[in-house]
Structure formats: C-alpha cells, structure tokens
C-alpha cells in the first residue's frame, strides 16, 4: 500500500522558515518524481513543485520558486520542502504527492499556520 506521511507543520511566525518532511512507503521511492501541493483554508489546490528521481531536475510554480526549496533523500525514502520568509498567505495544508503524468497519490497533509 502506498503511504505518504507528512510532518513538520505547525504554527510559525511571519518571516521565519520551516522545513516539512514526507516519509514514503509501499513503493520504490527512487523510481518516482515526487512533489508538493498546498491548499489554503477554503480554497483550491495549488501545485508548488516537483523533483525527479535523482534530484537532477527540480521545477517550481513560478510565483513560489524564490520561497520554496524541494529536496529528497532516497536512502531515507524522504521528501522535503524548505520554506522561507513565510507570510500569512502561506497558511495552508501542505500535501506530499507522488507523480506519474500528474498526481497519483496524496499524503494526508500537514497544516502550516503563519501567524504572530
């Protein structure tokens, strides 16, 4: 069974940084592109970015590429999202996703709240 479990969310002050993790199981992690998607409260889905199998290709949605950094550790079956200079507009549920011609599996999501 494919499982994606996010962690590292919580309350963070504006302007600070936060790093999310996603632990994968149930499939060969190093065979797949992986990505992050977020959803602000009551809003739709926003794709953040993706990383290929050996980290040689990392792509971001243009409006977020200066704020977020995606990385992975295949030995640990873990995907990361480093977020910097956070603002209230970054308050959202962050989902780890597996990608093959789009998203095929979603994690349960982790809440990030940016507030003083």
Partner 1 sequence: ENVLPQSPTTMAASPGEKVTITCHASSSGLNMNWHQQKSGTSPKLWIYDTSKLASGVPDRFSGSGSGTSYSLTINTMETEDAATYYCQQCCSTPPITFGSGTKLEIK
Q: Is residue 103 a contact point for partner 1 (CB under 8 A)?
A: yes
> Tokens standing for 4?
């994606």
Nearer CB in complex with partner 1: 35/68: 35
Segment (H or E) for 86: none
Q: Is residue 46 a contact point for partner 1 (CB under 8 A)?
A: yes
Q: Is residue 41 a contact point for partner 1 (CB under 8 A)?
A: no
Q: How far is CA 52 from CA 30, 41, 109, in A?
A: 9, 29, 21
Q: Is residue 79 a contact point for partner 1 (CB under 8 A)?
A: no
Q: Is residue 66 a contact point for partner 1 (CB under 8 A)?
A: no
Nearer CB in complex with partner 1: 74/99: 99
The C-alpha angle 24, 43, 57, rounded to 5 degrees, equals: 40
């Amino acid at each position: 069974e494919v499982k994606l479990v996010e962690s590292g969310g919580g309350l963070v002050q504006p302007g600070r940084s936060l790093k999310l993790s996603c632990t994968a199981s149930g499939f060969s992690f190093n065979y797949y592109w992986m990505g992050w998607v977020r959803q602000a409260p009551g809003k739709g889905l926003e794709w953040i970015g993706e990383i290929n199998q050996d980290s040689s290709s990392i792509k971001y949605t243009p409006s977020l590429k200066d704020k977020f950094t995606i990385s992975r550790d295949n030995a640990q079956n873990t995907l990361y999202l480093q977020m910097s200079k956070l603002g209230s507009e970054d308050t959202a549920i962050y989902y780890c996703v597996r990608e093959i011609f789009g998203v095929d599996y979603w994690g349960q999501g982790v809440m990030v709240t940016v507030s003083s």
